[in-house]
Amino acid sequence: MGTGINGVVVTGLGATTPLGGDAEATWQAMLRGENGIRAIEEEWAASLPVRIAGRVRQEPAEMLDRVQARRLDRCEQLALVAAREAWADAGRPEVDPERLAVVVGTGTGGALTLLGQDDILESSGVRKVSPHTVPMLMANGPAAWVSIELGARGGAHTPVSACASGGEALSLALDLIRLGRADVVVAGGTEACVHPLPLAGFAQAKAHSTRNDEPAAASRPFDTGRDGFVIGEGAGLVVLERAEFAAARGARVYARLAGAGVTSDAHHITAAHAPGQVRAIRTALASAGLAPADVALVLAHATSTQAGDLVEARSIAEAVGTHAAVTATKSMTGHLFGAAGALGAIAAVRAVYDGVVPATRNLESPDPEIGLDVVVGGPRRMPVPAALANAFGFGGHNSALLFTSA
């Protein structure tokens, strides 16, 4: 069945992000080093300690049928938009529906629906609550809607692992194909929770940047002046196929998903932990049959927190070494939580395919303790035979994905 280490390929990409309304626009904006973080102009943000976010460039409801959009939470809308793009980009594979699966991770699911409908219940009573509330707020909603859209009957799965969710989604998709349970899997992550409550919560936890007057400079991974992440929204999905299936239909292949590693720290609910990250990376390397020296690029999780960036830098140095180029795209997009791992994967895939690495934005005063070859100043043209994409989440979730050239 072609379930060996080289048997899974990437044939389609889809994204909607703070940098662009599709995957190509997002990638080109990354190469230009653009900023996707802006001030929140709504009145509800005026009294908050945090008033910046990375919001998507294109409203998802504008790309959907009006009635359908009203029945979907924003995170479901974003997932559906990205899934449609990825599916079209892959050439809309003709596949047995029972051999087609979907895996869409999310950190908070339909948080906007949950919070919004609770406000309606409190202010206006039960009769004003939407009858679509439950399917809009449930975390498996994005995967379910994508499966309905594509007619996928091989399973619709939802990893909920905070900021590792998107990465874990691709890892599960890899397993489904390697185990012979699917020929094609649409996988990734989605998130939409720019709302007063999450913003206030992260601010109280001192996890979010408070550079409200400098939104473009707020997310600064690996910089000595980093003061927290910036909340973002968006979705990233990819089409993964059994290599033989893709070859038989003459599909264009971006890269191979050669290996994946998923671990848990069992250490602390929020603090990053190097041993778990190192094990995830080493598991991915073993899964791919690669040595640390083979890795040319690391798409770092690098959220722009003081402790988190340093712990990851040490993990990369221990598991991979200091030879690889490293970049941190959250400097441009903010932190997309459940979609972060999937967007990092898309950037890794394009780096492998195009032979170019986007630079890290806002790295003006590199932290001397990082000790890595972080790409700055502009995109770096270089062969990328293997790229590692990291994603780590609250709860001690660690995901590492390895992509290689086709």
- Active-site positions? 163, 301, 335
The span from the CA of 156 to the CA of 182, in Å, is: 12
Six-digit token string for 373: 């070859």
The span from the CA of 176 to the CA of 7, in Å, is: 12
Buried b (16+ CB within 10 A) or exposed e, 322-356: eebbbbbbbbbbbbbbbbbbbbbbbbbbbbbbeeb
Contact assessment for residue 308 and residue 393, using Cβ atoms and an 8 Å cutoff: no
The span from the CA of 405 to the CA of 152, in Å, is: 28
Nearest to 297 by CA among 222, 254, 360: 360
Nearest to 215 by CA among 61, 60, 331, 56: 331
The span from the CA of 27 to the CA of 360, in Å, is: 13
Contact assessment for residue 386 and residue 290, using Cβ atoms and an 8 Å cutoff: yes
Contact assessment for residue 60 and residue 74, using Cβ atoms and an 8 Å cutoff: yes
Name the residue type at position 224: T
Contact assessment for residue 164 and residue 393, using Cβ atoms and an 8 Å cutoff: yes
Contact assessment for residue 169 and residue 188, using Cβ atoms and an 8 Å cutoff: yes
- Which residues in 295-394 belong to E strands, given as ranges? 297-299, 325-327, 356-357, 373-374, 380-381, 386-393
Contacts 24+ apart (CB under 8 A), 264-272: 264/395, 264/396, 264/397, 264/398, 265/396, 265/397, 265/398, 266/396, 267/396, 268/396, 269/394, 269/395, 269/396, 270/205, 270/207, 270/394, 271/307, 272/307, 272/308, 272/311, 272/312, 272/392
